[in-house]
Amino acid sequence: MSNLLEGKTALVLGVANKWSLAYSIADAFRREGARVLLTYQGERQQATVEALGAELGAARVLACDVTQDQELERLVETLRAEDDRLDAVVHSIAFANKEDLTRPFVETSRSGFLLAHEVSAYSLVSVARATAPLMAGGGSIITLTYLGATRVITNYNVMGVAKAALESAMRYLAGELGATGIRVNAISAGPIKTASARAIKEFSSVLDFVAQRAPLRRNTEPAEVADAAVFLASDLGRGVTGNILFVDAGFQIVGL
């Protein structure tokens, strides 16, 4: 491809390791000429994400635990102080307690339900609110979702309900922020082996099932998700907002 993101700055939240979808997205953004900023959650992850940032040629690596409003405020203050504008923000963040991804959904605790929704869905709203003022003249906000938002996927449980909230939040944000030229979209990725995915019980059997049944008869590659994010962040996606773009080898159309 040819510098589709030249002159653009992208903030990518959710790089934990090389297998993170956010890592592939940051890598593709760099390839397309973007200036990339990364975040990490907590001191425990700082050195790891700084090292990954060096590999990716990230311009900055900043702290941001999305459950801490003051960290999001500090991140925005830091960018504003440096006169940084943002053209794209990638929200690639989710979390649920492991026990809520293994026991029956009906046994989900109140605290587990709220935690999954706070980290995985509300954070899109708080990130959009904090970063929209840095996107004067327009920009692109991209989040990552999964088919479990609208279909019952065994063991996905509370995360499916949180993804439904995330997708709805994406549409409401697109409806409001469109007036300022900010587009908000979600990529619904097929299952990919990452740290978060491994928390889901019997995840490898999901990969096997999809590889047999998806129209493309294979699983999704992280690079395919990343290239879709490039499209949404670039001017090629200028007419697209409030959309869920499936990058899943076509699995979402399959019935019996």
Binding site for ligand NAP (CB under 6 A): 14-16, 20-22, 41, 45, 64-67, 92-95, 119, 144-146, 189, 191-192, 194-197
Question: Among this protein's residues, is 122 annotated catalytic?
Answer: no
- Least Å distance between CB 202 and ligand NAP? 13
Catalytic residue chosen out of the listed positions 23, 40, 122, 146: 146
Look at the block and give the residue holding tokens 């060096």: 54
45/7 Cα distance (integer angstroms): 29
- Least Å distance between CB 133 and ligand NAP? 20
Catalytic residue chosen out of the listed positions 23, 40, 122, 156: 156
Question: Among this protein's residues, is 172 annotated catalytic?
Answer: no
Task: Kindly tell me which of 119 and 173 has the beta carbon lying closer to ligand NAP.
Answer: 119
154/200 Cα distance (integer angstroms): 9
61/65 Cα distance (integer angstroms): 13
Lateral strand order in the sheet of 182-189: 60-63, 35-40, 9-13, 88-91, 139-145, 182-189, 244-247
Task: Kindly tell me which of 4 and 25 has the beta carbon lying closer to ligand NAP.
Answer: 25
Task: Kindly tell me which of 165 and 181 has the beta carbon lying closer to ligand NAP.
Answer: 165
Task: Kindly tell me which of 84 and 118 has the beta carbon lying closer to ligand NAP.
Answer: 118
The token pair that represents 60 in the structure block: 């900055």
- Least Å distance between CB 199 and ligand NAP? 8
- Least Å distance between CB 218 and ligand NAP? 14
- Residue 185: closest CA among 122, 143, 132: 143
Residues acting as catalytic residues: 146, 156
